[in-house]
C-alpha cells in the first residue's frame, strides 16, 4: 500500500464481496458469522503466502520424493476476544494444526484505552509466528496493547490481521480501509460492533 509499507490490503474480489455483505445492516447473526469464517480462511491464504518451506522425504504410490512442508514450529493464531474468534475459525479450517492463544481485551468507552482481562498462550512464543486476529482496527489501542503483551511474553514475529481499519488506527494488515472514526471511536462506515453482530448480543 502506498505510504504504508507494513500494510497489505487483501483486494481479492471474494474478500471484498463478502465484506460488503457483512456491512449490510440486514445481515443476520448466522450469516455474519459464516461470512467472517469464510473471509478468515481467504485472508489466511493471502497473509501466510510467505511462510518458509523446508523439504521432507515423502513416499508417493510411485516413488520417494523431497516434498515441501512448512518449516519451524506451528504458528500461533491469537484472536482478540471476542470478535477475533469469528475470523480465527476460518483460519483454523485452513491450518488445523496451528496453535491457539487467547487475549481478552475490552475498550474503555470513555478513554478508548484497552483493558486486559485474559491471556493464555502456547509455550515457546519466541520460536513461533504469532498472528493477532481482530475484525477491526479503529483507534489502534487494542492492537497496540495486544502486540505489546505478546512481545512481553517473548513473541518475535507478530502479524496483525483485520478486516478493515480507520486511518487513525492503521499500522498493520488490513482488508479494507474505511473513512474515519466517529466520536465514540467506531469505524465509519464499518460493520457496527463486530462482536455483537457475530454473537447476537447488544
pLDDT at res. 114: 84
Q: Which residue has the higher pLDDT, 29 or 187?
A: 29
Q: What is the mean predicted confidence (pLDDT) over 165-181?
A: 57
Concatenating the DSSP letter of every residue in 66-95 gives EEEEE-SSPPEEEEEETTHHHHHHHHHHH-
Q: For 83-117, what is each residue's pLDDT tens digit?
A: 899 899 999 999 999 999 999 998 888 887 889 99
Fold of the CATH domain 13-199: Rossmann fold (3.40.50)
Q: What is the mean predicted confidence (pLDDT) over 12-19?
A: 92
Count of residues in the chain:
202
Question: Which residue ranges make up each domain of the chain?
Answer: 13-199
Q: What is the mean predicted confidence (pLDDT) over 110-130?
A: 90
pLDDT at res. 175: 39
Q: Is the pLDDT of residue 201 over 60?
A: yes
- Angle between helix 84-94 and 29-47 (nearest 10): 50
For 162, which DSSP code? -
CB of 73 closer than 8 Å to CB of 128: yes
Q: Mean pLDDT lowest for which of 25-34, 157-166, 191-200?
A: 191-200
Q: Is the pLDDT of residue 72 over 70?
A: yes
Concatenating the DSSP letter of every residue in 50-64 gives T--EEEEEEE-SS-E
137 pLDDT band, cuts 50/70/90, is confident
CB of 181 closer than 8 Å to CB of 139: yes
For 193, which DSSP code? -
pLDDT at res. 59: 96
198 pLDDT band, cuts 50/70/90, is low
Q: Is the pLDDT of residue 144 over 70?
A: yes
Half-sphere exposure of 192 (CA within 13 A, CB side): 19
Q: Is the pLDDT of residue 179 over 80?
A: no
Amino acid at each position: 500500500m502506498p505510504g504504508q509499507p507494513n500494510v497489505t490490503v487483501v483486494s481479492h474480489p471474494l474478500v471484498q464481496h463478502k465484506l460488503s455483505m457483512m456491512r449490510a445492516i440486514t445481515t443476520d447473526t448466522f450469516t455474519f458469522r459464516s461470512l467472517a469464517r469464510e473471509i478468515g480462511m481467504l485472508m489466511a491464504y493471502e497473509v501466510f503466502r510467505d511462510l518458509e518451506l523446508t523439504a521432507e522425504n515423502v513416499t508417493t504410490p510411485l516413488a520417494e520424493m523431497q516434498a515441501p512442508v512448512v518449516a519451524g514450529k506451528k504458528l500461533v493464531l491469537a484472536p482478540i476476544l471476542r470478535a477475533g474468534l469469528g475470523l480465527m475459525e476460518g483460519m483454523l479450517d485452513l491450518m488445523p494444526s496451528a496453535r491457539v492463544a487467547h487475549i481478552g481485551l475490552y475498550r474503555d468507552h470513555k478513554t478508548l484505552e484497552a483493558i486486559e482481562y485474559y491471556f493464555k498462550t502456547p509455550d515457546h512464543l519466541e520460536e513461533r509466528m504469532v498472528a493477532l486476529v481482530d475484525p477491526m482496527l479503529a483507534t489502534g489501542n487494542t492492537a497496540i496493547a495486544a502486540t505489546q503483551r505478546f512481545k512481553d511474553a517473548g513473541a518475535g514475529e507478530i502479524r496483525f490481521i483485520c478486516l478493515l481499519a480507520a486511518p487513525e488506527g492503521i499500522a498493520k494488515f488490513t482488508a479494507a480501509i474505511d473513512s474515519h472514526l466517529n466520536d465514540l471511536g467506531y469505524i465509519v462506515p464499518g460493520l457496527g460492533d463486530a462482536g455483537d453482530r457475530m454473537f447476537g448480543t447488544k
